[in-house]
Amino acid sequence: MKKKSAILLSALLAIGIAGTAAAQSAEDAIEYRQSVFQTVKWNMGPMTAMAKGEKPFDKDAFLKHATRVEQLSHMPLEGFTPDSDLGETDAKPEVWSKRAEFEKRMKNWQEQAAKLAQVAKAGDERAIKAQFGELGKSCKACHDDFRVKR
């Protein structure tokens, strides 16, 4: 077992992960949640283009991106750690001072994303575009009050 652990450890060290295992700093948390939202944004792009008619509607592509946004929607919350309110962040202090409301809007976003993935699976273009609008509203509802305007 000792030998196995040593091999595992050296593999992890080699990929530069072991060093970060012990602690995740406030900086790491900020970088993490921003990375999740960046990944969401990439997936929103093609869906937005389809919703606006800039790109032809592609059922399979829409389903892929909607599924990914749903998966991602469950990830950022844990990045809003207690000590990560300062630093290079666009998160307003209200994320921490009005936590219940923040988490309520985050939950609403998750629900709208889940609904979109569901509707995308069914494949009706009009229903998909309508639900995509609802998802957009749930993004905006949180950005309006909890993110610094840029």
- With CB under 8 A as the contact rule, the residue among 26, 75, 77, 127 that binds a second copy is 75
Does residue 132 bind a second copy (CB under 8 A)? yes
DSSP-assigned beta bridge partners for residue 147: 91
Provide DSSP, 65-111.
Answer: HHHHHHHHHTSGGGGS-TT-SSSS--B-THHHHTHHHHHHHHHHHHH
- With CB under 8 A as the contact rule, the residue among 2, 3, 21, 100 that binds a second copy is 21
- With CB under 8 A as the contact rule, the residue among 2, 3, 15, 148 that binds a second copy is 15
- With CB under 8 A as the contact rule, the residue among 27, 45, 123, 125 that binds a second copy is 45
CA proximity to 30, closest of 71, 88, 72: 88
CB 139 within 8 A of CB 131: no
- Rounded to a whole number of angstroms, the CA Rg of the chain reads 19
Site of interaction with a second copy (CB under 8 A) = 4-5, 7-9, 11-12, 14-18, 20-22, 24, 28, 31-32, 34-36, 38-39, 41-42, 44-46, 48-49, 51-52, 54, 68, 71, 74-75, 79, 129-130, 132-133, 136-137, 139-140, 143, 150
